[in-house]
Amino acid sequence: MMISLQILSPLPSSHFINPNPLSLQCSKNPNFYPKSFSETPYLVKSTHTHFLSFPKNSNLKLKTSPRLKLSVQFQRLICYGVKDSDEETKAVVDSGGDGGGGGGGGGGGDDGDGDGDWEMEKKDGILPEWLNFTTDDAKTLFAAVAVSLAFRSFVAEPRFIPSLSMYPTFDVGDRVFSEKVSYYFRKPCVNDIVIFKSPPVLQEVGYTDDDVFIKRIVAKEGDTVEVHEGKLIVNGVMRSEKFILEPPSYELTPIHVPENSVFVMGDNRNNSYDSHVWGPLPAKNIIGRSIFRYWPPYRIGRTVLETGCAVDKQDSTSSSK
């Protein structure tokens, strides 16, 4: 079905609509592209360009010039920029003309070839997008940092082995996990490998709380320790230690371990700065217990002996007899 379109005669200048697209007001009604008019489409003519406005659901088919199409599309672009975006947007049209006619960028199409390049530019903030934190992002980051710090302070943390004092159990560069939960419920046991801060006797000669050591507990509070002829003797009982590098080459006279203290020694007995030099270690200086070596890969495994605290029970039984 063909519908003819009658072109009305030019209206007086007082009835002309301002052809500047930037001054058009967009309708909030979703059924229309630009500002709503009457049901019958009108063609309004000015000295600069042509604008066509009609209902969105209209079935009219019009044959229009390229210049008319450009005007209608530009008017829609302005409307969509206002209606569809939650952020402030800017529509920029480069018509390629000389900028004459309608004044500014809107009228440049009259003198050019009529083909415009359109571009939507979003106004960005000063900071990069990945630094634009929301409140939820900040809460998540804070919670992650708090959990991480709490885990390291009260549960477990990784440790690096800096020396050969515990060789062959640990080599230089090994990395272990030190857990801190066990000693909330029990006292340190014999054969526990513990990480501890330097005791007061070492701080008197220049060490600080930041200096951390790793040794094996060989005796607990109330025990008597001595080394004789390359053997470790605790409470008169000779210990069988298969994990040491070699028997100690020194002699140690009997030492009584005071309350709330332990006696620690390195598995490399002849190359370890431990309790046989500076005395018993206060239990309060213990930070944690080594339970697992995770580096290097070919040495991954537990660092806790299967006997565990069973040695303490054996010593107690032997002393009672």
User: Active-site residue numbers?
Assistant: 165
- Cβ(297)–Cβ(276) below 8 Å: no
Query: Per the structure block, which two tokens stand in for 303?
Result: 């660092």
Which spans in the chain are helix H?
66-83, 135-154, 200-203, 275-278, 310-320
**Nearest alpha-carbon partner for 195 in 149, 235, 152:** 152
Cα 302 from chain centre: 30
Query: Three-state SS across 177-230?
Result: EEECCHHHCCCCCCCCEEEEECCHHHHCCCCCCCCEEEEEEEECCCCEEEEECC
Cα→Cα distances 26→14, 21, 34, 69, Å = 22, 11, 5, 18
Q: Work out the angle at residue 279's Cα, subtended by the Cα atoms of residues 275 and 281, and round it to the nearest 5 degrees.
A: 75
